[in-house]
Amino acid sequence: MISNTQLFTIGNFDFRLHHLLIIGILVLSFSISFLIRTQSLHYGFELNEFDPFFNFRATEFLVNHGLAEYFTWHDDMSWHPNGRDISATSQVMLHITAAATYQIFGGNSSLYDFTIMFPVIFGSLTVVVIFALVRVMGGTTAGLFAALLYSVSVPIILRGTIGWFKSEPLGLFYGLLGLYFFLSGIKSENKKVALSKIIGGGIVLGFGLASWGGIQYFIIPIGIFILALPFIKKDHGFLIWSIPVFVTSLLLTTIMFERPGIGFVAGLGGLSLIVPTGFLVACIFIQKISKIENQIRNGLVFLFGIIIIGSLLIIVNQESNFLPMPSFRYLNAINPFLTTTIPLVDSVAEHATTTISESFFFHSILMIFSGLGIWLILGKKSPLNISIIKDDMIAFALIIGLAGIYVSSAFVRLELFASISIIILASIGLSILTREILSGKTIVNKKINFTENKFNMQTLSKVFCFVGIGVLLLIPLIYPVNGTWVNVLDLPPTILNGGTTFPIATNDWKESLEWIKTNTPKDSVVAAWWDYGYWITTLSERTTLADNATIDSTRIENIAKTFLSSPEEAWQMLQEMDADYVLVFVSGQRLTIDNEDQALYVLEGGGDESKKQWFMRIAGVDASKYLYSDGISGTDYFWNDTLLGKMFPFTTLVYVNLQTNEQSATYHPGFTPIYVKDIKYPSDSNGPLRLVHTSPSFNIEKGQPMIGVFVYEVNHNYVPSLSVPVENQGP
């Protein structure tokens, strides 16, 4: 066979042609992943989203000051005046890994540029890790399919594009690598090799937990797998020491970090490993002392008893809270039917529930192949299944596959776990399918007549099957034309479009943040919605009241209440919070109207004008006082009697039905407000605020999007008008 052709020898290793094929496919997968992740470069070379700016700042501090000072760093520039304990509230391993790799591989590049490329490199390298992981479960062919599918997975790449210096790319790298070491150790025949892999798996998985809290998802399939091992793996003598060693190394590594730390070990996460491990040891002992015919039965009875007791403990814990519980978003992943009444949690877009259309777009044809994979794995008719996958690996593939699909139903962010699950199942299914096609057992009659015509028909049938599979896999990459898996990921960095709906790149945010840095006192405190806290602290080097860590939900609620209060009340609240400047962001588009002297705008593009309904929910106020029935358009009270309405430098001119071109001076359902410029607090104002900076696109040309950043100085000399108490008013 060509695949066994020896090319050369290195030591005791014979390098054969199929090794070259494997390397070629892995290089191709890495290259595809790299190119897709970097396609937004044409917008600009910047960090993307909000959290990466904090992670860059923390990594910079670590590089400049070292580990000792990093672990004692209390940041006074965020959450004024309380500050923030960085190592206890951050993904520490992300900062450590980035700092270490920068010092080794950074060369002459700046740390900022290095962190922009960091997620691309680690995200693309993960194709090799997923290959190794799936290869352990389903063989080399399945691993190669997994690498290719991982390289084009939308949910995974969406959270690992260029500039996405956040937790997910590195967390997945460590998490999948730890999982590979664990399974490889379980499967290894060499006990010394198995021990090193199992310990390494626990350590690396612990690094994953310290890089991204979402890696706690892997605890679910691992815990279930440990529960199943006494029934599916015969080498009980190996299991009774290897599983405790793995769990111990994982938990000890986790304790090294403040986050997730001891709270994870002593809480639900740690118990999800400790209890199954205890069950495994006890079950093996029970089976050992039981009669052969009763071993499985006794083990299952014990398992059901553990499940019932565990369920009762969870129910009791809801009242007594004797076990540390994870935050709501982790509980929501375990139980997707949970609902939250916390508006701050609901306001985060990535916490939205996944819709059916989103799931179909994300996974598309892979859903079919994953279902086929489950059917082929469980099928008893194919002798190939037995030779490809062992019972324990079959069990883990099914456990992680079904667990990922279940967990991802909670909210959109977790769709990447569904992707991993579907990739594993689809890859194994495709591997078995291609083997059966090549064997000829499912395509033509087993009794092959080696006449020329019969042989040609067999070959042609195989070609058609492979072409059909290839076409199905290519469809999401080429169709629909403007919404493929590739071009849907071509998005501008958030700092260049403000996170708006406009696929453009402007300098508004960078210019405004630079203005704050060079035109305000260094000890200034800036008030803004929490979305922009990391940008202000990192790029403007100014202290903020709140940032994206959402450490103090009460502070965010107070900012929302300030924005929705009357100007006089809001000024007093800003004084109490020591704010010197207030920043607001307005997005919209200037209309193209011929012979129109006055600039007209539609405001609804993703700035604070689009978030104001969340301000109201978080502040706990009656939104009907501030918004009309469409839940978007501001009432006269909002525009004339709230600080936020006054800070938006626009006023409603008219309401228009864009379908019929009808106009109205008052709001009617189905009508859209049209705005004109109106600066209520100019730079020479004697009011509570003074507008000291407007970003460039405030003066855009007709037909162009506006990414308007407005900076107001708090007038500390303002004297609010005092209302007369009711008891002192005349008749």
Kindly state the average pLDDT of the residues 35-59: 96
pLDDT of 384 reads 44
The predicted-structure confidence for 184-206, as pLDDT tens digits, reads as follows 999 998 999 999 999 999 999 99
Residue 288 exposed, middle or buried by CB count within 10 Å (0-12, 13-18, 19+)? exposed
- Which position has the higher pLDDT, 348 or 632? 632
Task: Say if CB 676 and CB 651 are below 8 A apart.
Answer: yes
| 623 has pLDDT over 80 | yes
| 364 has pLDDT over 90 | no
pLDDT confidence of 454, banded at 50, 70, 90?
low
Cα 125 from Cα 117, distance rounded (Å) = 12
pLDDT confidence of 287, banded at 50, 70, 90?
confident
The predicted-structure confidence for 197-233, as pLDDT tens digits, reads as follows 999 999 999 999 999 999 999 999 999 999 999 988 8
Kindly state the average pLDDT of the residues 333-345: 59
Angle among Cα 419, 420, 426 to the nearest 5 degrees reads 85
Task: Say if CB 601 and CB 702 are below 8 A apart.
Answer: no
Cα 632 from Cα 613, distance rounded (Å) = 7
CA dihedral 229, 230, 236, 241 (to 10 degrees): 60
pLDDT confidence of 643, banded at 50, 70, 90?
very high
How, if at all, do strands 581-590 and 525-527 pair? parallel
pLDDT of 450 reads 45
pTM comes to 0.90
Task: Say if CB 531 and CB 50 are below 8 A apart.
Answer: yes
Tell me if the bond preceding 169 is cis, omega within 30° of 0. Answer: no
Average pLDDT over the chain reads 87
- Which position has the higher pLDDT, 327 or 564? 564
Cα 640 from Cα 651, distance rounded (Å) = 9
Residue 196 exposed, middle or buried by CB count within 10 Å (0-12, 13-18, 19+)? middle
pLDDT of 315 reads 66
